Copies of this chain bind each other. A is one copy, B any other.
Amino acid sequence: MTIKKIAITTGGGDAPGLNGVIRAVTLAACKRGWECVGIRHGFDGILHADEFETGGTLELTPDTVRGIGHLGGTILGTTNRGNPFSYKVELPDGTSEVQDISDRLLQGFKNLKIDALIAIGGDGTMEIACQVAALGVTVIGVPKTIDNDLDGTIATFGFDTAVGFATEAIDRLHTTGASHNRVMIVEMMGRHAGWIALEAGLAGSADVILIPEIPFDLKAVAAKVNRRNARRRKFSIISIAEGAAPIGGEASYKTTGGIANLGGIGEWVAENLRPAVPNQIRTVVLGHLLRGGSPSSRDRLLSLRFGAAAVRALEDGKKNVMVGLNPPTVHHVPLEEATRKMKVVPVDCDMIKTAADLGICLGR
């Protein structure tokens, strides 16, 4: 098929680098004489085009993408309004039901004369991309996740920026921890995979690193803190992923009661560690600070490589693949493979061994 016009969409949470992909796709497409449109807020720009005062799509040209490479977020917007294949539709009687409204999406592509779709997003977006592809639309996926938990790519843009910020945060807590002999707990993103907490914990010289892949024993954590206390390093830094859980599973800490209903696992650790160590304990939750900001040079580069590779894939007649990083080059993997499993931290990987070699407590 000869391509004349492509569409771009960004889905899910924002990540530094989205604009870099948009810029690279646009420039590479225009260079080939293709037209390029961006869909606003995921697929809402097509599904609810009438709600957008200035139109649900945005023509993308070298002028519209000028100077956006170093900006966080996405000029297209993202949304959580829903998967067109299982869409919550409000009914006239005030109730709602889940419908498949993907025909509206297809009709929208047809009206806009779209020949191919470049879908930038995380696992949710990649699954929708698979379903859209199954309807006969040519789709190229571009992986995006702060958490780095997408399979099929060694790295995703946004992750390096997040690790950089989390490392800086740990740096900052060192001095105040040291001056007050405190235990400082830093909780960061990573519901199912602990990449950020592990890498930032290593880079920032944390004393304890707790990740979802390794259920932790609070006694081991307390022992580490107290060993440091005994050696006159009377402070400790704990880097913890939001999805980390004590041995026995999430249940055990969820049922502990009051505080866990409000705070996250960081506060739970604080509360339960308190009786076992003499130090004051303070918790910091990095939360949404990790998603924002200008992308690091590495993430800018990766987003440009991904965007240009997506266009070259289309030019080469590829379809229904996701671009990914396989150093030193980019490669393509079938879309359905990319979403089959989550990439978690292997418990015997060299970074885990490095942490152990450095004397960092991994929770057991």
Contact = CB atoms under 8 A, between A and B. Distances in A.
Interface of A: 13-14, 16, 23-24, 27-28, 31, 53, 62, 67, 69-74, 77-78, 80, 154-155, 160, 163-169, 171-176, 178-180, 184, 199-200, 202-205, 232, 259, 262-263, 282, 284-285, 287-289, 291-293, 296-298, 300-301, 304-305, 308-309, 311-312, 327-330, 349-351, 353-354, 357-359
B309 A329 contact: no
Contact of A358 (B178, B288, B304): B304
B179 A78 contact: yes
B350 A179 contact: no
5 contacts: A62-B359, A155-B327, A204-B300, A284-B285, A296-B296
Contact of A259 (B184, B262, B309, B358): B262
A301 B203 contact: yes
B24 A358 contact: yes
The DSSP consensus for interface residues of chain A is helix
Copies of this chain present in the complex amount to 4
B203 A297 contact: yes
Given A164-B296, A184-B288, A203-B298, 15 more contacts: A24-B354, A24-B357, A69-B203, A70-B205, A71-B175, A72-B174, A73-B176, A154-B327, A168-B293, A175-B292, A199-B301, A202-B301, A202-B304, A204-B297, A304-B354
A163 B13 contact: no
B354 A176 contact: no
B312 A357 contact: yes
Given A176-B291, A282-B288, A288-B184, A359 B160 contact: no
A293 B327 CA distance: 26
Contacts of A262: 259, 262-263
Contacts of A73: 174-176, 178-179
A349 B328 CA distance: 9
B77 A179 contact: yes
Contacts of A205: 67, 69-70
A292 B176 contact: yes
B301 A28 contact: no
B289 A172 contact: yes
